[in-house]
Amino acid sequence: EDLKEVIRLHKAYSKSKKIIEYKPKGVKSTDKPIKESIGSIIKKSSVNVKYGQLLFNLVKHFNPQNMLELGTSVGISTAYMAQGNEHSKFISIEGVPEKINIAKEIYDKLKHKNIHFLCDDFDTVLQNVIESFEKIDLVYFDGNHKKESTINYFETCLQKIHNESIFVFDDIYWSDEMAEAWNYIKNHQKVSLSVDIFRMGLIFFKKEMSKENYVIKF
């Protein structure tokens, strides 16, 4: 019942043929903008319903009060997480303004009040955003898929973790670089437990747990 409207909107926007024109982050200023339908963006880069439900269930179960998302895209994963706890402080960062406009449209339809969208480069704003949190309970990493960047964002976010914090990484096998970044992260000394469900990786920091790396068929 909680997710009915989110799933309805997810499916509706997945069929949208509305074209948006945007410049992807990290491309040269001389590169031509991309023209792409909203439906195509969702099929290519957003979570499907199964993984959306997983994000919702994680939030519902662990009840994080302070959440951060790196890579809003058009706001599909954002909607699932926000629905899990409508009273959390939730900041979602995206570098492409045309995509964030669609996310805001979905946000308005769901009548969410807890999401603060930030349109900027992660490298520019992440440190300040982290400092705005007293502590961080959940971070969803789904932006820059380069190894060095992913590790940098992970280490920046470590500044505000506590025993119950959870980090979720999307697309951990998207490329060799992402697989290398995931390998570094799961073996980091502050990480007590990693769960690899192939598309995503979950990271826990509970000190009372002995170091484990699980691989689960999801």
Angle at 144 between CA 104 and CA 34, to 5 degrees: 65
The reported pLDDT for the residue numbered 29 is 57
The reported pLDDT for the residue numbered 71 is 94
DSSP the chain: -TTHHHHHHHHHHHT---EEEEPPTTS-TTSPPEEEEHHHHHHHHS--HHHHHHHHHHHHHH--SEEEEE--TTSHHHHHHHHH-TTSEEEEEES-HHHHHHHHHHHHHHT--SEEEEES-HHHHHHHHHHH-SS--EEEE-S---HHHHHHHHHHHGGG--TT-EEEEE-TTSSHHHHHHHHHHHT-TT--EEEE-SSEEEEE--TTSPPEEEE---
The reported pLDDT for the residue numbered 96 is 93
Q: At 77, list the tokens.
A: 């994963």
pTM for the model stands at 0.94
Distance of CA 80 to the CA centre of its chain: 11
Q: What is the pLDDT of residues 160-174, one digit of tens each?
A: 999 999 999 999 999
The reported pLDDT for the residue numbered 3 is 92
Q: What is the pLDDT of residues 81-103, one digit of tens each?
A: 999 998 999 999 999 999 999 99
The reported pLDDT for the residue numbered 26 is 60
Residues of the chain with pLDDT under 50: none
Angle at 131 between CA 58 and CA 45, to 5 degrees: 45
The reported pLDDT for the residue numbered 218 is 84
